[in-house]
Structure 1
Amino acid sequence: MDIAVTLEGLGQGFIYVVIGILFIWLVKKIDDWRTRDFDDDVHIDDGNIAVGLRRSGLYLGVAIALSGALGGSSKGFFLDLSHLLIDGFIITLFMFSSRFINDFIMLGNINNDQECVKSFVQPDGRKVVGNTAVGMVEAGMYVATGFILNGSISGSGGTFVQSIVSAILFFILGQLALLIVGFLYELITPFNVKNEIKSNNLAAGIGLGGILIALGIILMSSISGPFTGWANDLTSFGIYAVYGILMLLIFRIVIDKLLLPTTDIATEVKEDRNVAALIVVVSAINAVAIIIAFSM
């Protein structure tokens, strides 16, 4: 092992880590400015789980997306560094675009910002601040978007301009796929998911947010890899997107029967608001998504 080469690699890696942290700080400052009507830091200090969830999803999504920019073969430190900086600004733009899509399309008439600082009276009479269900769905959208951007940015074989165009195109297609799975999830679920989320039912938020993350994992795998031409890459994405959505919706029903033999998801979400049960179900769905992603 060449010690000099190892130390040089560690030094360059340290710079990449610093840049990653700077982009996470940048999205924090942008989100602080965007939500300047209330202080997110104060809400987090006061234990507002909804704000904590949405912020954690944003930071994780950025890190997951940036890891795609760090992958692949090196083209030289300074060229890699310039590409990372450009990718970082694109990722930042896309993250806040996905928030807009989540706010106005995925959750329809729910204003995420207002919901995450709103006061609620829980079924047991407790008063809480912040809609944790909305925070969970927004976090899921950020993380899913991070996986999609990871796949679109990590590809090789084309020019840098092609990689930028690819990131834009697959971001749009990925958001469309997330909206479709959200719509279909609502259709196969025997209760109104959006109404449960609006009523601060965290179990419902975990269910929707979790399946968004699962689809993001599958889409990342379908997008990543060498550039083989627009027609071929777009066709492959379409096939895997349809396949992934169908598999997730089918296995959600199967997992319901296998992991909740004495009850069902509808009962655990709507009647019991059982967060523990939904964590188990969503973890299993994401485990299936990981297996699907690595089997493709």
Structure 2
Amino acid sequence: MDYTETLISMGQGVCYALVSILFIFIAKKLDDWRTRDFDDDRHIDDGNLAVGLRRAGLYLGIAIGMTGALSGESAGFRTDMRYLLIDGVLVTGCLFISRFINDFVMMGHINNDRECIKVFTLGDGRTTTGNTALGIVEAGMYIATGFILNGSMSGGGGGFYQSLGSALVFFVLGQMVLLVFGLVYEMISSFHVRDEIKQNNPAAGIGLAGILVALGIILKSSLSGPFTGWINDIVGFFVYTLLGMILLLGFSVLVDRFLLPTTNIATEIKADKNVAALVVVQATIIAVALIIAHAV
């Protein structure tokens, strides 16, 4: 074993990790400034789960997106670092745009910031601060977007500007797909998903966030690989997307039937608000998405 080469590789890995942490810190400061009307750190210290979840999703989305820039063959440490810095700016900017889309489109003009510090009265009379369901959905949107950016940055076969353009184009297309899929999920559900989320039903938040993350994993797989031309890549993206959506919805029915034999997802969400059941169901859907992404 060449220990010198191993140590050099580990040192470079530490530098890449420090750059990622830098962008997570920058994202924190930007979000602190964006939500300067209230103190996010204080809310997290006070146990506001909604604020903690949305911040966790943002940080995970940045890390997932930036790992796409590190895949493939190295162009040399200095060049890799320069590309990583540029991609970090792109990923961070795209995630903040994704937050805006989630706030004003996905959730139907629900103000996420206001909801995440709103005081809710529980069924037993106790009060809690923050719409946890909404925090879960926002975290899911960040993570799904991170997977999309990861896939769009991890391909080869084109130059730097082609890679940059590809990341932007497929970020936009990916957001459109997530919004459409969210609408389809709402339409096929026997209850009003967004109403349940607005009423701070965490099970509903897990249901929507889980299936968005699952789709993001499949979209990442469709975007990974060498650049073969804009038309081929865009057509392939939509074919893969349609197939993935059909498979996810089909497996959702199977999971509902076999993992919840005495009930169903709609009952567990709307009537029982059963967080445990939805964690199991959506974890299974994400597991299926991982298998689909590596098998198709």
CA offset at residue 109 of structure 1?
Answer: 2.3
CA offset at residue 74 of structure 1?
Answer: 0.4
Counterpart of 1:226? 226
1:228 is paired with a residue of what secondary structure? coil
Counterpart Cα distance in 2 of 1:159 and 1:33: 35
Q: Find runs of 4+ consecutive structure 1 residues off by over 2 angstroms.
A: none
Q: Tell me if 1:262 matches 2:292.
A: no
Q: Which amino acid aligns with 2:108?
A: G
Counterpart of 1:65? 65
Counterpart of 2:155? 155
1:225 is paired with a residue of what secondary structure? coil
2:128 is paired with a residue of what secondary structure? strand
CA offset at residue 123 of structure 1?
Answer: 2.0
CA offset at residue 20 of structure 1?
Answer: 0.7
Matches within 5 A, 1:1-296: 1-296=1-296
Counterpart Cα distance in 1 of 2:140 and 2:107: 12
Counterpart Cα distance in 2 of 1:242 and 1:262: 31
Return the TM-score normalized by structure 2: 0.99
Counterpart Cα distance in 2 of 1:23 and 1:95: 12
CA deviation digits over 1:203-237, x for unaligned, max 9?
A: 00000000000000000000001111111111110
Counterpart Cα distance in 2 of 1:204 and 1:228: 39
Counterpart Cα distance in 1 of 2:265 and 2:157: 44
- How many residue pairs get matched? 296
Counterpart Cα distance in 2 of 1:223 and 1:125: 48
Return the TM-score normalized by structure 1: 0.99
CA offset at residue 119 of structure 1?
Answer: 0.2
Extract unaligned runs of 5+ from structure 2: none
CA deviation digits over 1:102-138, x for unaligned, max 9?
A: 0000001211000000000112322000000000000
CA deviation digits over 1:87-114, x for unaligned, max 9?
A: 0000010000000000000001211000
CA deviation digits over 1:40-91, x for unaligned, max 9?
A: 0000000000001000000000000111111110011111110000000000
Q: Which amino acid aligns with 1:113?
A: D
Task: Indicate the percent of aligned positions where both proteins have the same amino acid.
Answer: 62
